[in-house]
Structures are given as structure tokens and as C-alpha cells.
Structure 1
């Protein structure tokens, strides 16, 4: 009996070792298989990075590509102002004053969404992800569905906030002012409110609430579909023509975003106002758009390229809205006080903000391209370590644990080293490290963009001053401004542009250091901050130079 027990005792370790050996063999095989698949993906992307056309820096090329986009942004800002003057007397805006509050809020949030889309796609184009038909189709479809999710949720928030502020204003709260995310537009709107009859048939009830929600959400959804498709097409065209999309897409997305938001909000509100009393059309539209969020979230989550973007990017959007709202509350009275402020400020902040977004997009692309293979999730050691540890704790005898673990680790390390040497892949890169080296010539690009903004804004101011001098009998929006103000204005331009470029550089690298994608986080924060700084600087210019 004792011999039999001894036989069993001596047999069990042998049985455990054979089982452990089989398990380790399976784990090693699975780990190696996972590693080979990962390295094949990394090798494929590395080959695309080596084969695709990397846009090289040239001062002349930067000038040729950037100047038209900045001029388009100026033209878009002017057209937006002219259209606003035209639609302010439409029936929808007269009967539903909340649309005045909704417009600047929606313009700010939607503009940031389109600029983020342009920056993400520009980075994808420059690192070669758009070079294959499969990757291109997946990226475009995924980004468009993601944009729909963001646009509908953001427009719902903005519409609800605008309706609430409008209702509180009707209750004659003396301390409440319009919290405009675009302070200039908000100031123009505020100056128009006294002439609006607040005692209209729509007095803050269910019908008016649904009208504001449906108009804002439908305008944002249609605008995102059209403008998002335009941005995607523009990036792909730039890729085909070997043009750097970082120099073009963000200014165009910003200017066209404001213009198209105003157009579609005016059109949708004008249609819904005819059926406001019944509210059937607005309720149906609201329900369809709300249910469509689930469908868009599903398709976005199924897309591996943009799945992770569903949970990120919301904080900077609403932080930007908060910053711009505070600037609107502070500058509201100042905007109306100084004649000509409402014309100069949008162009100043638009150009200075656009050169900052161009810089952000270029630096972010360079950072992504310099460390394109640094996805730590593809490391095989992390994929099998948990499974290996759980299997080890199922053993009865832990005496061989250290030996087996050392043997397995050495074999895995040797296999990993061999494949790393053969494929020349940097698997040890940590994206959270403090290294943020980039091949982007930040100083040269900054100087070129600074000169561009200076000359464009100088030409804008000179044209207005010249028209005022040539037609003294006709009062212009800049009447009373002289060459002394022009000097102060140019100081303001250089100051604001410099802050924009420096902030773009340091903010982008700061976010990258903490493993936050600058294409998502940097642009909303930068654009809202430059709006505030630019308008405060212009106020100081008016105080000391007029």
C-alpha cells in the first residue's frame, strides 16, 4: 500500500510537468501566432510609410498651398456676416428669438467638429493610411458616421441650452445676457433684440422647444454629411495631387462650417416655422434624428479605425464652448461700444486661429509619422501574460514555477528579438514617454505663417481704410479709423498671431506627451482661446489707438 502511494506521489509531479509542458507549448504557439500577425500588420504599415509620398517642406510650397485657403477663410467670414444681416429679418428668427442664441453656439461647436475631422484625415493621409482602397473606404465611412454622432449630440445640447436661455430671458431676469460662443455674432444679435417682439404666438412652449431642437439637430446633421463629405474628398484629392492637406483643409473646414451652419439653420427653421402650431413635423424629425444616433453609434463602433474616438473628444469641445461663452459675456458691451469692432474682430480671430490650426495639424502629423509603430497593444508579451499567470495558479505544485517561467520567457524573448531584428520594428516604444521629437520645421513654418497672417490682415485693413478715404461722404463700418489705428492694429495682429503659433506648438507636444491625440484635443481649445485673446487685444488697440 505504501509502495502504491509512493508510486502515486512520484507519478503526480510527472503528470503535472507533462500537462504544464503541453500548456506552455500551446501558450507559446498562440503567443507566437499573435506576434506574427501583429508584426505582419506593422510591417505592412511600415512598407506603406516607406513607399508613400512624404510631403517635404518648402517655403514656396507652403506659401502656394496655404495662401489660397486663408483667403477662402476670409471670404467665408465676410459672406457669413453678409448672410447674417440678410436672414435676421426672416420670419423664423423674428418669431423664435432663441435661434439668435443657437446660431453662434452651434457655429462654434460644429466648426470644431469639422476641423477635428480635417486634422484626423490629414494625418491619416500623410502616414499612408489612405493609400489602400480598403483603408480609405473604412476611414471615410467611419469618420462620417462618427461625425454624425458628434453633430447630433452637440446640436441637441446647444439647442436645449439656447431654448433655456431664451425662456429665462423672457422672464425678465436682469442679470442674464446672451452667452454667445461667438462674441461678435452675439453682440450683433444682442443689439437686434430690443426690436424683436417677444410676445409672439410661440411663447416658450412645447412647440417652440421642438422647433429649436429639430431645426438645430437637422441643420447640424445635414451640414455634417455634406461638409464632412467635402472634407474627405478634399483630403483624398490632396493626397492624389501630392499636396499636403495639413496646409489646406482646416481653414476651409472652419470658414465653410460657419457659412453652411447659418444657411442650413435658416432654411430648416423657415420650413418648420410654417408648421410650428401643429408640431407634428418637428416631433417626427426630432424622434428620427434621436433614433439615428443608435444606428450611427453601431456602425462607428464596428469600424476599427474610429472605434476609440467615440469615447474621446467630448471634453475639449465643451471646454471650448465654456471658454468662448465667458469671452462673450465679458466682451458683449465692449463690442457694441467701439464702432467697426464687429467687422474687424471676426477676420482677425479667424486668420490667427487658422494659422494656429494649420500648425497643430502639421506638428501632429509629424509626431504620428515619427512614431507610427508605437502601439503597445500589439506587443505579444501583454497578450499572453494574464493567461499564462492564470494557468500557473491552477497547478498543485509550484516548485517548478520559476524554472518554467524563466524557460518560457527566454524562449519568447529570443523569438521576439529574432523577429524584431528581421523586421526592424520598434516594439519598445512607449507613447506616454516624454519624447516628442518631430521632423517638422516648426520655426520656419511659424515664420511663414506669421508673415502670411500679417500681410493678409494688413491688406484687409488697408482696403477698408482706403475705401473710407475715397468715399468720405459715405459712412462705412470703419469710418473714423485712421493710420494711427492701423499701426496699433498691426501690433495686435503680430501679437495675436505669435501667441497662436506658440500655443499650437507647445499645446500639441504637451498633449502628445500625455498620450492625448492632438488632432482631437488641441484644435477646440486653441481656437476658443485665440478668439478670446484676439478680441481682448483688439479692445486694447481701440482704447489706445483711437
Structure 2
């Protein structure tokens, strides 16, 4: 019977190696004959007993997150020849979570500070003065890091954590499909963002300019395309490097995407819109030509994305969150446009990318972590025992003992020290138009804490809600969450500046 039972030990996380004794087969309805267990060496042969895969769903959340282990998904359910898995998955402590998140968080924060400094400068350029709808594009295009790059980072992080990028063939397949996908999404979202900017700019004033509309379209599409191409390649490198260094990509990929995303996108938008604005009078054909060029590339990216099974579904079903998120961010852009257009509130420009970026970065990390945990428990549509049934209570989101609640506490506690560092950096560089008085810092911190508190709670509910409705949170949750971060952050910041103006804390010349 040696052909039926392989005489080798293969310790597994899903099975146990048990010696066969007389009592092991008692009571079995189909008990084999004792002779069937006899190998050439006698009755001491060991057999592998595999537990049901479904039993893995009952493990605690702390044991579900595999920090540094790579799990292969290539084995099938009936095979006893599976690759070795760690028998005791590493647990994440609050300290380990904070340590891994801290450096990328600070890096992302300094990226948003740089973006704020850029916005503070370019708001005085002619293109921002005379085509004020460009301000509406700012949150929408900066939000592309949430709509596209952060979603890409979350998708690839989950794929890496569950072993779908372990072989060169799988890696190349994920890279080509996802890069083509984000180029399609970037071009379409950039075009729609320009339409939203035109509409939101036209409604309050009742004035429409075709030249400005084409300028907005060309600037938006070109910025979205180039920024997504550059950031997509950076994200792939970060995730591959994280896996090789034994770092959880969920903790570092999305903040790094944000750190470079804001600065690169805003710099591209400012430079491209300024250059195209200069060509309006002498070479009016340049703007429509630029817009047509990038749109004409769409069929190529669609064909590549359709050929890849990993991105085909997102290509068809992933538009709703991206487009709705763009619309939400555009409302935040309208608030920004109406606020900074008033010289009394020009100081808001430098802080807008910072507060929006920090909130979006933190909630993206949390959403990506919860999504990875759920993917390790099953597939979308399953309902793990640990998932909230409907709307979670704030206590379960922030004060329970599971690893996702622990990470929510860690991320929330990073808000105040992080913003203090970023505010000090802005002040030391003499950026903005606002003196950092104590009352200003109190109002600013209140807005930032309230924003992140709301976002982390919404993330806990939204990711589980989407999972229970057979929607992959990696593709659907982060666009909504970062767009809400833009809207809530911009709204609370504008409210803070108006209240500060009313109570007499006014500055309009700092940094001029």
C-alpha cells in the first residue's frame, strides 16, 4: 500500500501529522482494513490528515494577518502535497504597526507639504487667476492617487500577500494588466473631471468659455495620464521591494503612493495648464490636439487590459467608484475655488493638500489592511464570523482587541504629532498666508482629528459592507474614502478659516 500513502512528513498549517493507532479508526463507517496501513516497515507509518479549509475562517483576526509569510494559491483543495506554510503566523502589535506606518506616513506628509507649498505659489499664476476652474481640478486630480494609484497599491498588496505575485510569470501578468487598466481609468477620469470643472465653474457665474473648457480638458487628461504612468511604475517597485524586505506592503505602499502623488500631480497640472494657457492666443490648435492625442490611445490600453483576467473584471465593473469619487472630490474643489478666490482666505491653499492628504493616507492604509484580512478569510461575498453584520459601533471600531481596531487606534494617534511636524515645516519655510497662532492650531487640529475619526469609522463599515455584497474592497472602497477625505477635509478647513476670520484671528500677508 505504499503507493496510496506516501511515507513522508510534510507539516502543514492546514493539517496535522498523526500516527495511526488502533483507536484512530474506531467508529468510522468506512474503516479500512488494518493491513492497508502496513508499510514495509510495519504499522508505524504516519498519514497526513487535512483539516477542512473552512475551519481556517474561525481563527482570530490576530492570527489571520500574515505579516511576512507568502501564501501560495496554486495548490488545490484535494491535494496533500501543498507547500509549507508557517504553523504560527506572526502577530502584529501596536508598536510594530506604528513602526511600519510611521516612516511612510511622514514621507507622505512631507509630500503633501511640498504640494501645499506648490499650490500656495501657483495660485497667483495667471492661469489660476483667469481660469479659476483649475482650482476645481486640483482635488479631483489629486484624488486620482486614491481612485487609481492607491487602489492599484491595495490590489497589488493583497495579491502579494496571498501569493499571486510569487512567480515571474504571475508578476508580469499583474504589472501589464494593472498598468493598462490605470491608463484607461486615468484618461477617462481626467476627461470627466474637466467636464465637472466646467459645469461647476459655469453654474455660479453663468459664464462659459469654449477656449477655457478645451484648456481644462487638455490639462486634465494630460496630467492624469502622465501622473498615473509614473506613479504606477513607482508603486510596482515599492510593493516588490517591500515583499523582498519582509515588510507588509499594506503598511507602506499606499502612503508612498500619496507622498509622491500629490506633488507630482500638482506640479504637472500647474506646468501643463500654464504652458497651454500661454499657447491660447498664438496656437489655439494645441489644446484640442493634446486632448485628442491622449484620448486616441484609449483603445490600445483597453485591449491590453481586456486580455488580462486579473483586470478584465475591474475594466468592466470598476467605473462606478472612480467616477463617483471624482464627482465628490470636485465638490471639494468647488469649495476650494470659492474660498481661496477670496483674498482674505488665500492662506487656506497651502494647508488643503496637507489635511486632505493625511486623512486620505491613513484611511487608505486601514482599508487596505481590512481588505487583506478579509481576503485571507475567503472570497468577496463570504461573511467571516468576525465581520460586523451591519453598522459597527464606534467602540468596536476603535476600542476592541482585534488587530484592525488596534491599527485604527495607532493611525488615529498619528494625526496630532504628524500635523504638528507638517505645520512646523510650513512655518519654517515661511509658506502660506497664515500665522500659526495657538487658536489657529487648535481649530486646525480639531478639523484634522474629526476628519480622520469619521474616515476610519466609515472605512470599517464600508469595507465589510462591500465584502458582504460580493464587491472587492480593494477596487471599490479606497476611491470613495479618499474622495470623502477631500470633501470633509476641505469643508472643515474652510469652516475653520471662516470662523477664525469672524473671531478676529486674521492674516493675509504672511509669506508674500
Asked if these proteins are the same fold (TM beyond 0.5), I'd say: yes
Residue deviations 1:183-224 (CA, integer Å, cap 9, x gap):
xxxxxxxxxxxxxxxxxxxx934x655443333222221211
Residue in structure 1 matched with residue 51 of structure 2 by the alignment: none
Residue in structure 2 matched with residue 303 of structure 1 by the alignment: 308
Deviation at 1:485, TM superposition (A): 4.9
Residue deviations 1:288-328 (CA, integer Å, cap 9, x gap):
32221111111101011111110222222222233334445
Give, in whole Å, the separation in 2 of the partners of 1:537 and 1:292. 39
Residue in structure 2 matched with residue 142 of structure 1 by the alignment: 177
1:241 aligns with 2:271: no
1:527 aligns with 2:476: no
5+ residue gaps, structure 2: 1-72, 388-400, 506-512
1:442 aligns with 2:398: no
Detail structure 1 runs of 4+ shifted over 6 Å in the superposition. Answer: 51-55, 462-465
Contact 2:235 2:253 in 1 (8 A): yes
Residue in structure 2 matched with residue 312 of structure 1 by the alignment: 317
Give, in whole Å, the separation in 1 of the partners of 2:83 and 2:186. 32
Residue in structure 2 matched with residue 226 of structure 1 by the alignment: 230
Larger Rg: 1
Contact 2:451 2:489 in 1 (8 A): yes
Question: Among residues 508, 525, 535, which one is paired with 2:463 in the alignment?
Answer: 508
Residue in structure 1 matched with residue 291 of structure 2 by the alignment: 286
Residue in structure 1 matched with residue 365 of structure 2 by the alignment: 358
Q: Secondary structure of the equivalent of 2:189?
A: helix
Residue in structure 1 matched with residue 188 of structure 2 by the alignment: 153
Residue deviations 1:15-41 (CA, integer Å, cap 9, x gap):
xxxxxxxxxxxxxxxxxxxxxxx9966
Contact 2:332 2:487 in 1 (8 A): yes
Q: Secondary structure of the equivalent of 1:349?
A: helix
Deviation at 1:538, TM superposition (A): 4.8
Give, in whole Å, the separation in 1 of the partners of 2:227 and 2:286. 20
Give, in whole Å, the separation in 1 of the partners of 2:111 and 2:349. 15
1:83 aligns with 2:90: no
Return closer, same or farther for 1:540/1:158 CA change in 2, 3 Å cut-off: closer
1:481 aligns with 2:430: no
Residue deviations 1:127-150 (CA, integer Å, cap 9, x gap):
111111111110011000000000
Contact 2:136 2:336 in 1 (8 A): no
Give, in whole Å, the separation in 2 of the partners of 1:475 and 1:76. 14
Contact 1:114 1:228 in 2 (8 A): yes
Give, in whole Å, the separation in 1 of the partners of 2:493 and 2:278. 42
5+ residue gaps, structure 1: 1-37, 177-202, 375-430, 469-473
Question: Among residues 454, 470, 494, which one is paired with 2:416 in the alignment?
Answer: 454
Task: Select between 277-286 and 359-368 the one with higher mean Cα deviation.
Answer: 277-286
Residue deviations 1:132-189 (CA, integer Å, cap 9, x gap):
11111100110000000000111111223334555677xx52xx8xxxxxxxxxxxxx
Question: Among residues 267, 270, 288, which one is paired with 1:266 in the alignment?
Answer: 270
Please list, as runs of the form range in 1=range in 2, the aligned pairs for 1:462-481 lying within 5 A after superposition: 477-479=433-435, 481=437
Deviation at 1:442, TM superposition (A): 1.2
Return closer, same or farther for 1:48/1:63 CA change in 2, 3 Å cut-off: farther
Give, in whole Å, the separation in 1 of the partners of 2:214 and 2:186. 17
Give, in whole Å, the separation in 2 of the partners of 1:311 and 1:493. 36
Give, in whole Å, the separation in 1 of the partners of 2:183 and 2:175. 12
Contact 1:111 1:258 in 2 (8 A): no
Deviation at 1:343, TM superposition (A): 4.1
Deviation at 1:115, TM superposition (A): 1.1
Deviation at 1:231, TM superposition (A): 0.6
Residue in structure 1 matched with residue 153 of structure 2 by the alignment: 118
Give, in whole Å, the separation in 2 of the partners of 1:66 and 1:148. 28
Return closer, same or farther for 1:498/1:292 CA change in 2, 3 Å cut-off: same
Q: CA RMSD in A?
A: 3.7
Deviation at 1:240, TM superposition (A): 0.9
Structure with a larger share of its residues in helix: 1
Give, in whole Å, the separation in 2 of the partners of 1:239 and 1:65. 13
Deviation at 1:120, TM superposition (A): 0.7
Give, in whole Å, the separation in 1 of the partners of 2:431 and 2:110. 22
Give, in whole Å, the separation in 1 of the partners of 2:327 and 2:160. 32
Contact 1:52 1:131 in 2 (8 A): no
Residue deviations 1:233-278 (CA, integer Å, cap 9, x gap):
1111101111111111112212322221222233334444565444
Return closer, same or farther for 1:535/1:160 CA change in 2, 3 Å cut-off: closer
Residue in structure 2 matched with residue 432 of structure 1 by the alignment: 381
Residue deviations 1:309-355 (CA, integer Å, cap 9, x gap):
10222222222233334445567666756685444454333223321
Q: Secondary structure of the equivalent of 1:516?
A: coil
Return closer, same or farther for 1:67/1:249 CA change in 2, 3 Å cut-off: same
Contact 1:55 1:242 in 2 (8 A): no
Contact 1:367 1:436 in 2 (8 A): no
Deviation at 1:481, TM superposition (A): 2.4
Give, in whole Å, the separation in 2 of the partners of 1:493 and 1:501. 12
**TM-score, structure 2 as length reference:** 0.70
Return closer, same or farther for 1:343/1:43 CA change in 2, 3 Å cut-off: farther
Contact 1:250 1:357 in 2 (8 A): yes
Deviation at 1:90, TM superposition (A): 5.0
Q: Secondary structure of the equivalent of 2:386?
A: coil
Return closer, same or farther for 1:314/1:479 CA change in 2, 3 Å cut-off: same
Residue in structure 1 matched with residue 162 of structure 2 by the alignment: 127
Residue deviations 1:477-533 (CA, integer Å, cap 9, x gap):
433722x55445544444333222222212111111111111111112212223333
**TM-score, structure 1 as length reference:** 0.66
Give, in whole Å, the separation in 2 of the partners of 1:475 and 1:516. 43
Residue in structure 1 matched with residue 42 of structure 2 by the alignment: none
Aligned length: 412
Contact 1:55 1:243 in 2 (8 A): no
Return closer, same or farther for 1:40/1:353 CA change in 2, 3 Å cut-off: closer
